[in-house]
Amino acid sequence: FQIDYTGTEPSSPCNKCLNVSWDSSPPCTCTINFTLEHSFESNVFMYYGLSNFYQNHRRYVKSRDDSQLNGDNASLLNPSKECEPYRTNEDKPIAPCGAIANSMFNDTLELYRIDNDTRTPIPLIKKGIAWWTDKNVKFRNPTGDGNNLTALFQGTTKPVNWPKPVYMLDSEPDNNGFINEDFIVWMRTAALPTFRKLYRLIERKNNLQPTLQAGKYSLDIAYNYPVHSFDGRKRMILSTISWMGGKNPFLGIAYITVGSICFFLGVVLLIIHHKYGNRNTSADIPN
């Protein structure tokens, strides 16, 4: 189930937020009401999806400093030149540096169930959304005396488009700074211009009740992320998994496409071989 909340349609509740800027204060908010026709029985995964966003651009993919993201203190204050033009700002090194971090998705999504005009919030889990190897191996905070991230990131500045520094991404120490899971998920770049990334988890609490019952819901959006300037689209996606995994049509489409091309080429080569393959078999070999 997915909802497009870009707001390009005049009738959309989010149309008023269409031309929002990165530093809008307070953020533009909108609410979209929707109905689930069928229940979600098992754990539910909430994604945000973007379209026409080319995270696979060569310059964009290289615009990061993995040593800095791994907690190297020297790289923290002297980022890689690959991060240009998001390497420094006002003569201070940017942490995290680079175009990928600078363009981090920052909409806030909240889900509510509506029963008799009463809105009940759906608990959304923000931990466990990143790959284990990313969370525990590739991304680490700088090291130093104590665990005060404000002190550890002293001498650096936030990315240009961020409203607050990296050490204020979350109030929980094990989900703050470079090990913030929303940040880690964003830093794993997508291969295609239309993609989705895991945003939150909704766990099943009662085996006798579905995770999300069929009925009326509302989605509250703090609309911070501008996409209209490059004709992008934004959407919220609810999905679940079965014993075969999650629903993803990409592999099926890819296999059918490649198989069709191979079949077509096989037919063409068979015709060429049948028509021209035996042409010189009876020719005399010259001395």
Gap between the Cα atoms of 31 and 21, Å rounded: 19
Q: What residue ranges in the chain does DSSP mark as E strands?
A: 2-4, 28-36, 44-51, 88-89, 92-93, 108-115, 118-121, 195-202, 215-223, 233-242, 245-246
Q: What is the pLDDT of residues 197-230, one digit of tens each?
A: 999 999 888 777 888 899 999 999 999 999 988 9
Query: pLDDT-derived band of residue 20, with 50, 70 and 90 as boundaries?
Result: confident
Contact of 159 with 147, CB cutoff 8 Å: no
| 285 has pLDDT over 60 | no
Q: 262 in a domain, yes or no?
A: no
**Number of folded domains in the chain?**
1
User: Six-digit token pair at 65?
Assistant: 């400093």
Q: Average pLDDT, stretch 251-279?
A: 88
Does 198 reside within a domain?
yes
Strands 118-121 and 195-202: unpaired
Q: Mean pLDDT over all residues of the chain?
A: 89
Bigger pLDDT: 72 vs 248: 72
Q: Is 212 contained in some domain?
A: yes
Give residue 75's domain range: 2-241
Residue 22 resides in a domain: yes
Give domain status of residue 153, yes or no. yes
- The answer as to whether 229 is a domain residue is yes
Q: Tell me the pLDDT tens digit for each residue of 126-180.
A: 999 999 999 999 999 998 876 788 899 999 999 999 989 999 999 898 999 999 9
Residue 282 lies in a domain: no
pLDDT of residue 42: 84
Q: Give Cα 73 to chain centroid, integer Å.
A: 27
User: Residue 112 pLDDT more than 80?
Assistant: yes
Report yes or no on 146 lying in a domain: yes
